[in-house]
Structure 1
């Protein structure tokens, strides 16, 4: 069976990405981002929390006036897998961690802004995010430098 792959030239990102280091839960971070940035992030409809699903905690807001889409995405998801019957000790429980952007494992959340040409990301938005209590740091990430930028296509 033939395998088709996307070439690197096919996907040209038109988004800005802000990495956020923060120990808060996603819903609290979404609340504080809404408060400080005057945006309206909401959990996507019909998406129930599911263990191990990358998009189980996915918040989105569409700004129709500026034609941008803001998304708050959790970078790491942890799943527990019991190896009943497959292992020497059937009570073994393994915890697997999956990352949206594996080369940035220390980042807790990503704020993705689609169609963000003209936004002054590094000056205004990042400064406002860094003023939120309990956020360690936030900074802009160059999407073109990421090896796994293709993971951002369907978000």
Structure 2
């Protein structure tokens, strides 16, 4: 596994907008619908966001799209990772499901849409309006990045 170093002091949270999405869709279905309604082209990234904490491993799916015309980078990130833990105890194997979240303080959010670039407030509002018109999406709204304790997990 490749290790990257990042100087957190060089990062400014004003560089991206974050939209929370509530839906029961899987990530590829959501990416397809966002492509269709927002006229973008999400594709599955060649990487996932992988975290290891104690014995738990979590891998969050990432879809990405780069708009070279407007110089925007879009990322669709799953907030929920479901995994099965197997533990051995005297002749029995016990399986337990584990659910971890990328941003724990937003437990009910299923996906985050991260938009990087020189966008304005109206662009984000129009994007949210279009997303909310998709019938399979329950709701979406902008999240104040500065209010998140675990915003560092969104740096990649």
Q: Is this a same-fold pair by TM over 0.5?
A: yes
Matching residue of 2:69:
65
Structure 2 gaps of 5+ residues are: 1-5, 49-56
Provide TM-score, normalisation by structure 1.
0.82
Q: Distance in 1 between matches of 2:96 and 2:113?
A: 30
Local SS of the residue matching 1:70: strand
1:39 aligns with 2:40: yes
After TM superposition, where is structure 1 displaced by more than 6 Å over at least 4 residues in a row? none
Cα RMSD after superposing both structures: 2.2
* Aligned residues of 2:18 and 2:115 also touching (Cα < 8 A): yes
For 1:103-118, what aligned pairs fall within 5 Å after superposition? 103-118=105-120
The correspondence for 2:132, drawn from 107, 130, 146, is 130
Distance change in 2, residues 1:153/1:43 (3 Å): same
Count the aligned residue pairs: 142
Local SS of the residue matching 2:146: helix
Matching residue of 1:54:
59
* Aligned residues of 1:121 and 1:140 also touching (Cα < 8 A): no
- Return the offset for 1:113: 0.3
Matching residue of 2:23:
22
* Structure holding more strand per residue: 2
Structure 1 gaps of 5+ residues are: none
